[in-house]
Amino acid sequence: MGYVTSPFSRKMVAAAIEGAEATGLLATVGIEADAPRDSKVMFRSGAHYAMLERLAGEVDATDLPVRVGASKRCDEWGALGPALKAVPDLRGSMARAEHQARLWTSVVRYQLRPDPRGMLNVLHRPGERRLGRRLPNETTLVATVACARQVNPAPVRPLNARVRQAAPNASTSHEGWFGCAVRRGGGA
């Protein structure tokens, strides 16, 4: 089991609920809502997934990954943000992100795969397919594209997005944001 940094959990909760509800939900993973934001504060990923499942039980979390991921700024990724900006093209940016991800996370794996149409950016989070994993998977996928759009001079528009987890209530917010079809299911 890996670890998750607290700013990510704070951002997910803040996009969905506020006040005492948010404070109580953050407390379930040991985050004090009034404490300074510190990316060094980490907790087990299983606790994060369970917290997200509780959150989804309280609110409609269908478009939460799009709202949170799209709001991510490269500078929020620490040293990776400037590193991505220093690369002249999308392929270079994604290769740098793939390399850096191997250094700073054990929760999710990134891989670039060649494709006749360009490249595939594969995000894999090992473990059972459950709602608490689907939400951060989709958020990370959206955040990766958001960052690519910020650092590349040419428009970044995926040809398609594939997600292994079952579809949420609707994918229209996902498809609208990516600008392409979002395919879901085991063969994705």
Tens digits of residue pLDDT in 27-50: 999 999 999 888 888 888 889 999
DSSP 78: T
Q: Coil, helix or strand for 18?
A: coil
pLDDT digits (tens, 9 = 90+) for 108-131: 777 888 888 877 877 777 777 788
pTM of the model: 0.84
pLDDT digits (tens, 9 = 90+) for 49-98: 999 999 999 998 888 999 999 998 888 877 777 777 777 788 888 888 77
Q: 141-172: string of b/e by CB count within 10 Å (b at 16+)?
A: bbbbbbbbebbbeeebebeebebbbeebeebe
In terms of residues, how long is the chain?
188
Q: How does the average pLDDT of the chain come out, rounded? A: 83
Report which of residues 26 and 110 the model is more confident about: 26
Residues 134-142 have a mean pLDDT of 86
Residues 168-178 have a mean pLDDT of 80
- The pLDDT value recorded for residue 157 is 84
- The pLDDT value recorded for residue 185 is 72
d(C-alpha 145, C-alpha 20), whole Å: 33
d(C-alpha 53, C-alpha 127), whole Å: 15
> Residue 118: beta bridge partners?
115
d(C-alpha 117, C-alpha 10), whole Å: 37
